[in-house]
Amino acid sequence: MDEMNQFKEKVLNEYPRLGLQDSFHFSCHIGVPCFTQCCADVTIFLTPYDILRLKQRLGITSQEFLEQHTLSPFTKDQRLPVIVLRMGEDEHKRCPFVSENGCRVYEDRPWACRMYPLGLASPRESDGSDDSGEFYFLMRDPDCQGWDAGRQYTVAEWLDEQEVILYNRMGESFQQITLHDFFQKGNSLSPEQIEMFYLVCYNIDKFRVFVFESTFLKRFDVDAQIVERIRSDDMALLEFGMQWLRFCLFSEQTMTIREEVVQDVRRAAGMDRMK
């Protein structure tokens, strides 16, 4: 069992489970002796919304962000690509966004950084529904000195204050894709479909080029107002991309093929039969 699964087993079997109204004391501020020590040598998985916020914050394209700040580790039982924040190459492997005054991208920091000291676990693969068995737990990192000081938070207050709720809402469509029944039934994607997943979820600017500079809009009937929105609005484009992924990965009827394209296909099929 790898390190990640060992930790998950430990959480499921040994950690106290917290609900939204359970409370804890925590205080992290520039005066704690461990300030910013946790922003080093840590594995931070990035969601599509994390990448979108960070690349906007840094004023760079998604392609530049991926190249400069991320890694895409691969394990043999992995069915979809994941992205992690690349730590620095100094001896402490510090996060590229940490400074002596704290996080330089604080308002746009990733979901995982917002959650700490809370963790989220589930006995089975969660689809985010109420009966998924998900629970919160406290990650009592022994080097962290923010414990049992400062104000008391309920779990719900912490999630709200750290804007985790907004990030969760923005991640719902992504979660519905990654936890889709298609995978639960043991199916896997083709390399072309995996490439499309990567493009939509992680390289939003390149996905925009795909939509506007290929025959995409000639093949699919997309409402004119949506076309205008996704031209410049990254979040709208990401939501649109999730609909597109449901169509091209799982054959769901989330996109409408233009009638003339359907006719062309039928004509070509008829001609084939006549040959």
Measuring CA to CA, which residue among 44, 105, 108 is closest to residue 70?
44
Q: Which is nearer to ligand SF4, 110 or 241 (CB)?
A: 110
Q: How far is the CB of 112 from ligand SF4 (least distance, A)?
A: 7
Q: How far is the CB of 42 from ligand SF4 (least distance, A)?
A: 6
Q: How far is the CB of 163 from ligand SF4 (least distance, A)?
A: 13
20-59: which residues touch ligand SF4 (CB under 6 A)?
A: 28, 32, 34-39
Q: Which is nearer to ligand SF4, 36 or 193 (CB)?
A: 36
- DSSP per residue over the chain, as a string? --HHHHHHHHHHHHSPPB-TT-EEEE---TTSTTTTTTSBS---B--HHHHHHHHHHHT--HHHHHHHHEE----TT--S---EEPPPSSTT-B-TTEETTEETTGGG--HHHHHTTEEEE-SS---S-GGG--EEEE---TT---EEEEEEEEHHHHHHHTTHHHHHHHHHHHHHHHT-HHHHTT----HHHHHHHHHHHH-HHHHHHHHHHSSHHHHB---HHHHHHHHH-HHHHHHHHHHHHHHHHH--S-S-B-HHHHHHHHHHHHHHHH-
Q: Which is nearer to ligand SF4, 86 or 180 (CB)?
A: 86
In this structure, the chain runs to a length of 275
* Number of other CB atoms surrounding residue 167 within 10 Å: 20
Q: How far is the CB of 119 from ligand SF4 (least distance, A)?
A: 13
Residue type, 151: R
Q: Is 103 in the site for ligand SF4 (CB under 6 A)?
A: yes
Q: Is 138 in the site for ligand SF4 (CB under 6 A)?
A: no
Q: Is 145 in the site for ligand SF4 (CB under 6 A)?
A: yes
CA distance 82 to 91: 25
Q: Which is nearer to ligand SF4, 95 or 204 (CB)?
A: 95
Q: Is 146 in the site for ligand SF4 (CB under 6 A)?
A: yes
Q: 268: burial class by Cβ within 10 Å (0-12, 13-18, 19+)? A: exposed
Q: Is 149 in the site for ligand SF4 (CB under 6 A)?
A: no
Q: How far is the CB of 213 from ligand SF4 (least distance, A)?
A: 33
Q: How far is the CB of 29 from ligand SF4 (least distance, A)?
A: 8
CA distance 9 to 216: 45
Q: Determine which residue in the list 109, 135, 237, 245 makes contact with ligand SF4, applying CB under 6 A.
A: 109
Q: How far is the CB of 5 from ligand SF4 (least distance, A)?
A: 23
159-178: which residues touch ligand SF4 (CB under 6 A)?
A: none
Q: Which is nearer to ligand SF4, 115 or 235 (CB)?
A: 115
Structure tokens at 219: 């093949």
Q: Determine which residue in the list 18, 95, 120, 249 makes contact with ligand SF4, applying CB under 6 A.
A: 95
Q: How far is the CB of 159 from ligand SF4 (least distance, A)?
A: 16
Q: Which is nearer to ligand SF4, 142 or 186 (CB)?
A: 142
Contact set with ligand SF4 (CB under 6 A): 28, 32, 34-39, 95, 97-98, 103, 105, 109-110, 113, 116, 143-146
